[in-house]
Structure 1
Amino acid sequence: MARRRIPPADGNAAVRAVAAGSTDRTERTTAVRYSLEELAFRAPGNSVEVRVPPLGVTQCVEGPRHTRGTPPNVIETDADIWLALVLGTLTWAEALTSGAVAASGQRADLSALLPLFPQEPPGPATGPA
């Protein structure tokens, strides 16, 4: 199992800040790295490599382990698209169709794992009518 480098309280705070619209570079970087750690925690393994250059990379999903060179199952996208996927504001299918995510290999499908931190839709307004 992947070792966490970002304390969950810090990671969750960064994810919440980004979900609320923060554009702070440090919070966005922490949110990306924490979400990659969370993905590896929820889907341990080494058969898929997820890259969000230049902020982070992780290996996840059970299956054959690669030991040299480029792994056979690679997913790559930018930070904005990755955060939209983990927050659920963009679906895996939409990201693939639009070309916002490059995915190669038989196991390079994260649709069953995303979103990691789904955002609840706003509830009905309450208060005096």
Structure 2
Amino acid sequence: MVARRRVEIVVGLAAVAAWQAGPVDRGTLATAVRYTLEEVAARAPGNSVEVRVPPFGVAQCVAGPRHTRGTPPNVVECDADTWLGMAAGRLSWADAVAAGSVAASGLRADLAGLLPL
């Protein structure tokens, strides 16, 4: 089952474009993050990996074993600028992990094949 989008595609794309153009307000940043989280979940549906971009959003994606309680076994967490940088192709997954900008735990928590969007 595909999750319903909460951010309209045109609004999300505009927020991402604004972020790419330069500094944005917190609302635009939040919209860009939420849109890209929805996009990664739409492109890789599933519940085996939880992607967290605090305080703006979280998404579950990637097909595989599902967790039911507690902390998921596959978690990716980073700040908004790192996430958007990877989603937009400005920052590679490998470079972000090597720099310590992404915390990734679990066997399925490698999003290199899904990014950039």
If the TM-score is normalised by the length of the shorter chain, which range does it land in?
over 0.9
Q: Distance in 1 between matches of 2:103 and 2:66?
A: 20
Normalising by structure 1, report the TM-score.
0.88
Deviations 1:65-106 (A, max 9, x none): 111000000000001111111111110000010110000000
> Given residue 97 of structure 1, which amino acid in structure 2 is its aligned partner?
A
CA RMSD for the aligned pairs? 0.7
Residue 110 of structure 1: aligned partner: 111
Residue 76 of structure 1: aligned partner: 77
Q: Distance in 1 between matches of 2:14 and 2:113?
A: 24
SS at match of 1:63: coil
Structure 1: runs of 5 or more not aligned? 117-129
The number of residue pairs the alignment matches comes to 116
2:58 counterpart of 1:44: no
Q: Distance in 1 between matches of 2:80 and 2:26?
A: 11
> Given residue 18 of structure 1, which amino acid in structure 2 is its aligned partner?
W
2:18 counterpart of 1:34: no
Q: Distance in 1 between matches of 2:39 and 2:20?
A: 16
Deviations 1:7-55 (A, max 9, x none): 1111111011111113221111100000000000000000000000110
Q: Distance in 2 between matches of 1:73 and 1:44?
A: 15
> Given residue 78 of structure 1, which amino acid in structure 2 is its aligned partner?
D
Q: How does 1:1-129 map to 2 (within 5 A)?
A: 1-116=2-117
